[in-house]
Amino acid sequence: MSFPFAVRITSDGSSPWPVEAGRYRLVVNRACPFASRSLVVRRLTGLEDALPVAVTDPLHDERGWRFTLDPDGRDPVLGIRYLAEAYRAAVPGYDGGVSVPAVVDVPSGRVVTNDHDTLTPDLASQWRGLHRPGAPDLYPAELRADIDALNAELAADVHFGVYACGFARTQEEYSAAFHRLFDRLDTLEERLRGQRFLFGDAITESDIRLFTTLVRFDAVYHGLFKCNRNTLTEMPVLWAYARDLFQTPGFGETVHFADIKLHYHAVLTELNPSGIVPEGPDLSGWHTPHGRDALGGRPFGDGTPPPAAT
């Protein structure tokens, strides 16, 4: 998938947009799995002060993501009602897609990037000079090629795979996407059977990507997107792995199930014409013991967990 604002913010001089504390505003929606990745990375690395966040309403109208959660329906820093205004500040007359996450340059009010694929690796590496002391290395140099390769597979089969199931227009399209999705989940189940995280003993950026899809699986994708061979809770290894991450500082506190369920079921009227938001599933299981510590490992590698959320 291509992004119209696939610009990178870097510290190595490779981009006209330099890493700079306080210059940019990260715009997210808590329902979006791609935006949620940036929230987890930001939390684990301690970038909260360096990269302030703006949160959009889980509901939107024909004008897209809006700041109706803020007083007077405007983002208090950018002064705009709709994220689309920042896109048009970058490209006058822009009428294409408006997606989150998006990073906005505060002085100019223009979107710099909406490329979620490069945003989180860059937050984990290019922004390292602004990380908190003890921040984990989520994108270690010696693993980057392997992380990028796995991320591409996860994107094709899992992250976009659930959408391919949900929005398929023919039985053949749906069946192909369905089998790719569950074949990949079966492979991941085996990969994680004997190791705690996707690359062994410590969390990497790949784990964050997989987590933000898995945490939405039973609440949304299983029913609404017809990804219904089984629930996540019926895949014992992936279910324990997802709970392990959910209970790790920096993960669970970024998850807002109410926003997730409301957005998907109320906004995607093509899939859910009634707009009825389901009562289930029971979410209490996310807090139950997972037993993954028996595999050993150090979730933060040589780093430390983030301080308690305030």
Based on its alpha-carbon atoms, the radius of gyration of the chain, rounded to whole angstroms, reads: 19
Level-2 CATH architecture, domain 9-130? 3-Layer(aba) Sandwich (3.40)
Sequence letter at residue 298? R
Level-2 CATH architecture, domain 141-295? Up-down Bundle (1.20)
pLDDT tens figures, 152-179: 999 999 999 999 999 999 999 999 999 9
**Of 24, 32, 82, 221, which residue is the catalytic one?**
32
Q: Give 197's strand partners.
A: 200
pLDDT tens figures, 19-43: 999 999 999 999 999 999 999 999 9
What size, in residues, is the chain? 310
Of the pLDDT bands very low, low, confident and very high (cuts 50, 70, 90), residue 3 is: low
Residue 32 known to be catalytic: yes
Mean pLDDT to the nearest integer, 102-109: 98
Q: How far is CA 144 from CA 115, 121, 125, 147, 270, in A?
A: 18, 9, 10, 5, 38
**Of 82, 87, 94, 163, which residue is the catalytic one?**
163
Mean pLDDT to the nearest integer, 57-64: 93
Residue 181, token pair as written in the block: 């999705």
Q: Would you list the domain boundaries of the chain?
A: 9-130, 141-295
Those residues whose C-beta lies under 8 Å from the C-beta of residue 27, and which sit 6 or more positions away, are 53, 54, 56, 65, 75, 83, 86, 100, 101, 102, 103, 104
Residue 163 known to be catalytic: yes
